[in-house]
Amino acid sequence: MSEFDSEPIRGVPGALPKGERVLWQGEPRWGLLARRVFHLPTLTVYFAVLLAVRITSVVLSGGSAADVALAAGWLFCAAVVAMAIFYAYGYFIARTSVYTITNKRLVIRTGVAMPMSLNIPFSAVESAGLKVYDKTGTGEIVLTLLPGRHVAYFALWPHARPWRIKRPEPLMRAVPDAETVAALLSKALAQTGPAEETRQGEAHKGEASAETGDGSAKWQSQAPAAA
């Protein structure tokens, strides 16, 4: 029996109120989540540089082949162990995370050691953005909250847009078929009243720029058009 067995609906802490229904539900792809959250490609390059420097240092100091193997061996093992830990942690994050889109809100269930659910009502959302990473259609969907609506960054992490600490932005990471999910979310946002006029203004801004960490992927506005 797991701590999630008591959920009336998977990923949702309580029964849905009358009139609310689940539109979509999914979880992040663990491999991509681990690579993006922990910057594993950059970490791989870092370890490769350290290994090259260590080998060069031993060779230039007149070390034998055995000395080179010994010096490189322990560093290589340390790198493998570190990468394995990060990938394992990414797996457990993905395994315990569920994104649920209803016609009223986004619910993010997260937490490896201390599970919790975060409710983000659409009435608090100013705009949304989409970034697709590869040919499989996997991507990320970010929500910008209205001024005055705040969610703690460290409560959101790792489902938070990096470095937006003062004004945290919820982030659905490594979402399969992200364009379809973003279109569904955009439609749900358009049907939510209180923040609709603000979001309609955002819809005309077009493509938004942001730090991407990937030159081939850009944030695209998913703010709903006027009904």
Q: What is the pLDDT of residues 126-140, one digit of tens each?
A: 999 999 987 889 999
CA distance 105 to 7: 17
CA distance 14 to 44: 42
Q: What is the pLDDT of residues 3-19, one digit of tens each?
A: 555 666 888 888 888 99
The pLDDT-based confidence of 196 (bands split at 50, 70, 90) is: very low
Exposure string of 42-62, with b = 16+ CB inside 10 Å and e = fewer, is eeeeebeeebeebbeebeeee
- Whether the per-residue pLDDT at 212 is higher than 80: the answer is no
Q: What is the pLDDT of residues 135-177, one digit of tens each?
A: 889 999 999 999 988 889 988 999 999 989 989 999 999 999 9
pLDDT of residue 124: 92
CA distance 217 to 227: 29
Q: What is the pLDDT of residues 72-98, one digit of tens each?
A: 898 999 999 999 999 999 999 999 999
- Whether the per-residue pLDDT at 197 is higher than 60: the answer is no
The pLDDT-based confidence of 222 (bands split at 50, 70, 90) is: low
Sign of CA dihedral 210, 216, 219, 225: positive
Span 34-59, average pLDDT: 93
Helices 65-95/30-37 angle, 10° precision: 120
